[in-house]
Amino acid sequence: MKSFIEGIQYLIDNNIIIVSASSGYGSSQEIPSWIKNNACWWSQGLISNSDFANGIEYLVREGIIRV
């Protein structure tokens, strides 16, 4: 899990992924808790790569992150 977080941090630090200050989700940029759960479950092999990717696609579609 640590290497996954470091990878995401690298992408953010190098402007490959941009976390938006405002989004279509609620009234803030907050990442939904179900996305956080998906990341944890994916790192433990409890959900498929496809299910995890769907969560990332949701974040992009809603403008929470920009790639």
Mean pLDDT in residue range 38-57: 88
What is residue 21's predicted lDDT score, i.e. its pLDDT?
Answer: 56
Q: Which carries the bigger pLDDT value, residue 34 or residue 11?
A: 34
Cα–Cα distances (Å) from 63 to 4, 12, 15, 17, in that order, read 21, 15, 15, 11
Average of per-residue pLDDT values in the chain: 78
CA-nearest of 14, 30, 27 to 65 is 30
pLDDT digits (tens, 9 = 90+) for 10-32: 888 888 877 765 545 444 457 88
Q: Which two tokens stand for residue 3?
A: 């290497």
The answer to whether the predicted template modeling score (pTM) of the entire model surpasses 0.85 is no
In the structure, what pLDDT confidence band is assigned to residue 5 with cuts at 50, 70 and 90?
A: confident
